[in-house]
Structure 1
């Protein structure tokens, strides 16, 4: 799971303090994803990940 979280973090515009330690020890993840951008035609998404 750590590799997957690290890949997501590499593209993130914001990360939690200590995210590397959280990623390394994570055994579960919950992802919340927004719908598409408010402007038609764009593929922007916001992802919020919770790990434990």
Structure 2
């Protein structure tokens, strides 16, 4: 199990610097320092057209 987790993390860290800049600035999922709580907090503003 720990080996699988290590492999997942290694695969994430290799392409992340290349792919991360292509995400929207409003993207929260699976991004360093951002998470679902950030998405839930900004969703009402996004839905009202205040951001995005």
TM-score normalised by the chain length of structure 2: 0.25
Query: Which structure has the bigger radius of gyration?
Result: 2
Higher relative contact order (CA 8 A, sep 6+): 1
TM-score normalised by the chain length of structure 1: 0.25
